Structure 1
Amino acid sequence: MAEEDIRWIQRFSNFSKAMYHLENALQIPNPDIVQKAGIIQFFEMSFELAWNMVKDYLEEQGFVDIKSPRSALKKAFEMNILENGHDWMDLLQDRNLTAHTYDEQKATDMEQLISNKYFPLLKALRDSFNQKLHEQ
């Protein structure tokens, strides 16, 4: 199978692009509410692409029973693809709450969590899969 035909590699490319935008958005000093909303949106996109990339990778490894973000993250942790399993479960839970971030204080709190806790997790995943890509 050609490298570009491998689904997780295609998804990795899109994940990397979303992460690029998230990283740039997190560089904004003192973001206003609209910029915070953008950060949260880039975080949501990055996470959706991340868990689907993990699912695709696990499927290529022969695991076909992965149906949800939780099951993908749990299996990836079991397979030592992810570290900090509890932090990933926190990320999943907080990601599910981002759709309900209606006020500025909640947006500020989420932006801080993304910046200080969740972006480093996503970045470590990107770095790990970048290494897997170069091992192909």
Structure 2
Amino acid sequence: MNRRKTHYTMSNEDIRWKQRFTNFSKAMSHLENAFQIPNPDIVQKAGIIQFFEMSFELAWNMVKDYLEEQGFVDIKSPRSALKKAFEMGMLENGHDWMDLLQDRNLTAHTYDEQKATDMEQLISNKYFPLLNALRNSFKQKLDEK
């Protein structure tokens, strides 16, 4: 079977951030739905934390891909992506984003029910609004293109 490579008119980077945005939006919708569970048990809290982890992973990679499209090719980590996005005015509350990154790195330790409860509250009250503002900002970028 003879297979030919498909050539796209858009660059791979351009497509990549848009695809990540779609996946990021889906993960955020799942996280939003998980917040609707009244009095979540430990398993449900673990699900909320997992949706948060997925949302953040997709968010920083989306930002990285977008920045690469803008010519910033030295972005290799979540910290460098968030710092550059903050410098460019894409993010507000830079310290809160650094808190989010630090707390995201601690989510592996949420097997303890109190830690899971604390993390679920942080996600709901502090980090979801940050991620949601990023989603809205990138939705505008997508609508402009």
Give me the TM-score of the superposition, normalised by structure 1.
0.97
Q: Is the 8 A contact 1:11 1:52 kept in 2?
A: yes
Which is helix-richer, 1 or 2? 1
Q: Quick check: which has more Rg, 1 or 2?
A: 2
Q: Secondary structure at the match of 2:39?
A: coil
Q: CA deviation at 1:4?
A: 10
Q: Is the 8 A contact 2:48 2:120 kept in 1?
A: yes
Q: 1:2 to 1:49 in 2, by over 3 A?
A: same
Q: CA deviation at 1:102?
A: 1.8
Q: Deviations over 1:1-41 (max 9, x none)?
A: 17996210010000000000000001111100000000000
Q: Deviations over 1:89-134 (max 9, x none)?
A: 0000000000111210000000000000000000000000000000
> What are the ranges of 5 or more consecutive residues in structure 2 without an aligned counterpart?
1-9
- Give structure 1 regions of 4+ aligned residues with deviation exceeding 4 angstroms: 2-5
Identity over aligned residues, as a percent?
90
The residue correspondences of 1:118-129 to structure 2 (distance < 5 A) are 118-129=127-138
Q: Secondary structure at the match of 1:45?
A: helix
Structure 1 CA distance, aligned partners of 2:77 and 2:37?
A: 33
User: Aligned pair count?
Assistant: 136
Q: 1:4 to 1:94 in 2, by over 3 A?
A: closer
Q: Which residue of 2 aligns with 1:38?
A: 47
